[in-house]
Amino acid sequence: MAQKATHQQPDSSSVQVPVVLFGVDQNGKPKAARFIEKHAELAAKAAGHLKLQVLHVTAPVVADLAGRLPIGRIHGNGRGFVPYVRRDLYAKLVAAAGAPAQSGQPLPQVVASTGSPKPASQPNGQSTFPKDWGDISPGHVVIAQDTPEEGWYEAVVVETSGDLLTMRWLDYPRERRITRHRSTVGLLYPHESPNIDAKPKAAQSSKPKTGAKPSAAEPKSVYPKTWEDIDVDSLVLAKDDGPWRAWWEAVVVTKTTQTLTLRWRETNQMLALRVRNFAQVAAITRPRWSVGLLYPNGR
């Protein structure tokens, strides 16, 4: 169950466990730190000055996340020092706290290797993730390739000019903007992920009518048009488990209704640079709704 984050200033008897302070600065850059038990009360009081959330380290999942954070410092004037942290780690803190990201550049999703994307909404109520390549417009989050050696990363569309998209990197908003053709970016799942406990609907009989000739099956493309179309041998984008959380091309090896087993694509520069024997790279498992789609038309 998610922990509740709060800005309240508890009395000395209410803080008896270590705490985590987390939040973002004026530029939307995430920061977080852990404070030991004897500093917890002071840290909780300083959170208001620092405009940070307070999360008590009581649940095992929070304790695990806290152990990966730097130790914060509280000064005598009530101010504190909370260093910057990776955005993927901050996203997990947000999920554990059940609190909003409260950032000028809100996190579009919280994705773990065993979880599913949860799209945020724009002020007009529309999803941050476009439903199709033709729908991409300013404010949408897509996946763009940096370089073949560096992989793909989430990017925010700033401006469109025909099929050209001007974007900024989601995690690095101050870096130089990039321009890509809309057919070269990947899409993230734009809806709430389906109920994993729901049983799939029974397929309707495809028995042809008497006298009717069965139509020839359409050739299967390696580029699925929707997440429901993902099949064995489909080519998709998957996020790795490394510290930079880059996306790379991956091929579906096996599938279930909800889960995909993937192998990194053999031509990935990532593999050529980081491993010597591709056959030794273990397969990865991802929820179907957590992978990205590549442009399918005209390939």
pLDDT in tens, 179-230: 999 999 999 998 765 543 333 343 343 344 444 444 444 456 799 999 999 9
Provide the residue range defining the domain that includes 263.
227-290
What is the structure's pLDDT at 271? 47
Number of compact structural domains in the chain: 2
H or E stretch covering 135 = none
8 part of a folded domain: no
Minimum mean pLDDT range among 64-73, 203-212, 237-246: 203-212
CA distance 272 to 71: 37
Q: Please list the alpha-helical segments (H only) found in 242-282.
A: 269-274
Mean pLDDT (the chain, rounded): 74
> Is 235 within a domain?
yes
> pTM of this prediction?
0.55
Ordered alpha helix ranges (H), the chain: 37-50, 60-66, 87-97, 269-274
Q: Tell me: the pLDDT tens digits for 91-121?
A: 888 877 764 434 333 333 333 333 334 455 5
- Does 269 fall in a domain? yes
Final residue belonging to a domain, choices 97, 119, 152: 97
167 domain residue, yes or no: no
In a domain, 260, yes or no: yes
121 located within any domain: no
148 three-class SS: coil
- Tell me if 157 is assigned to some domain: no
Strand-strand pairing, 151-161 and 141-147: antiparallel
| Lowest-confidence pick of 3-17, 20-34, 74-88 | 3-17
Burial 43-66 (b: 16+ CB within 10 A, else e): bbbbbeebebbbbbbeeeebeebb
Contact status, residue 47 vs residue 66, Cβ threshold 8 Å: no
Residue 80 has pLDDT above 70, yes or no: no
Residue at a domain's end among 97, 127, 161: 97
In a domain, 234, yes or no: yes
The confidence band for 273, taking pLDDT boundaries of 50, 70 and 90, is very low
Q: In this predicted structure, which of 8-12, 75-79, 154-158, 234-238 has the lowest mean pLDDT?
A: 8-12
Domain closes at, from 57, 74, 97? 97
